[in-house]
Amino acid sequence: MPPSNDPSPGLRLMDLLDLLSRQEQPLALPEVVALCGWPKPTVHRMLGQLEAGGWLAREPDGRRYALATRTLRLAEAALSTSTRQGVRHAVLRQLVADVGESCNLTALSGADVVYLDRVEAAFPLRLDLQPGTRVPLHCSASGKLFLAAMPARQRQALIDALPLTRYTAHTLSQREALEAELQRIRHDGYAVDAEEFVEGLVCVAVPVRGADDRPVRCALALQAPSARMDLNQARQQLPRLLAAATALGRTLG
C-alpha cells in the first residue's frame, strides 16, 4: 500500500487503519509489514499508537491486531447516517412495498449483528427494531450468514467464544447443529431464522457485497410473523431480496 501523498503522521495512521479494516482476519506485525511495505519499526510504532488510541485491540494471543470497538462504532455510525439519508433507505422502502413485510440492513460488529437501517411493514403485528439494535450471531439469519462467510480460522475462534444461548425451542444451541447449518448456508447462498431468536418470527437474509467483492459487507433481511408469512413463503421472496441486495451493494463502493 503506497503512503498518502500528504506526509502527515495522522493521515498515515488512517491509511494503516484503512488497510487493516479491509482484511478478513486479525494480522500480526510481519503480516502488516508485508501488506503495506513500510519499515517494520514504523509499522510497529503506528500499531502501538492505534492500540493506545482504542482503534485496534490485541487478540488473546498477544500477536495479532484486530479492529477495536471504537473503530467498529465509527463504521456503524457512518453507515447508519448514510442509510438514513441516502439511497439505501429508499431501496429498503421499495423492497418493503414489494414484499409487504419489514426489511433491514445489518452489519457484523464484533460478536453481534448491528442494525444499520430498517423499514417496518404497515401492520400492527410487527417487531420494532431500531437502527443500532444488536442481536446474537448464532440465532439470527444475518448473523449466521456472517458466520458462514468468515474464513474458517476466524469462524472457529468466534464460535468458541459464543455462549450459544437458547432463546426459543428452535435455537441451534449445539455446536454441531450450528456448523451443519453454516455449511448449508455456504451452499445455498442465503440464511434463515426459523423462529430461532423470537418465537413466531421468521427471517430470510442474503449477502450484500460491495464493488470489491469481499465475501459479505452487510446483510439484507426480510422479517415476518410466521402467522402472516411462513418460512416457505418468505423464501419465495429471495429473487426480490437478491435484486435489492445488488442495488445496495452498488452504494458500498
| 0.75 exceeded by pTM | no
Query: Worst-scoring range by mean pLDDT, 34-48, 77-91, 207-221?
Result: 77-91
Q: Residue 224: beta bridge partners? A: 202
State the pLDDT at residue 81: 63
> Cα angle vertex 144, ends 138, 145, to 5°?
165
Contact between 54 and 101 under an 8 Å Cβ cutoff? The reply is no
Q: Is 205 helix (H, G, I), strand (E, B) or coil?
A: strand
Contact between 253 and 78 under an 8 Å Cβ cutoff? The reply is no
State the pLDDT at residue 4: 47
Query: Worst-scoring range by mean pLDDT, 45-49, 72-76, 87-91?
Result: 72-76
Could you tell me the fold of the domain covering 71-250?
A: Beta-Lactamase (3.30.450)
Residues above pLDDT 70, as percent of the chain: 87
C-alpha–C-alpha distance, residues 235 and 90, integer Å: 22
| Secondary-structure class of domain 9-67 per CATH | mainly alpha
C-alpha–C-alpha distance, residues 136 and 190, integer Å: 17
Asked if pLDDT for residue 7 goes beyond 60, the answer is no
C-alpha–C-alpha distance, residues 108 and 112, integer Å: 6
Beta carbons within 10 angstroms of residue 80's beta carbon? 19
Phi-psi map region of 107: left, alpha, beta (phi>0 left; psi -120 to 50 alpha): beta
* Domain limits, the chain: 9-67, 71-250
- State pLDDT tens for residues 170-226: 999 999 999 999 999 999 999 999 999 999 999 999 999 876 656 677 999 999 999
Q: In angstroms, what CA-CA distances link 82 with 59, 105, 244, 252?
A: 31, 12, 17, 10
C-alpha–C-alpha distance, residues 72 and 215, integer Å: 18
**Which residues, other chains included, contact 117 with Cβ-Cβ below 8 Å and sequence gap of 6+?**
80, 83, 84, 88, 89, 92, 104, 105, 131
Asked if pLDDT for residue 11 goes beyond 60, the answer is yes
Place of cell 446483510: 219
C-alpha–C-alpha distance, residues 239 and 206, integer Å: 10
Question: Which pairing describes strands 191-194 and 201-208: parallel, antiparallel, or unpaired?
Answer: antiparallel
Asked if pLDDT for residue 154 goes beyond 80, the answer is yes
Identical fold at 9-67 and 71-250?
no
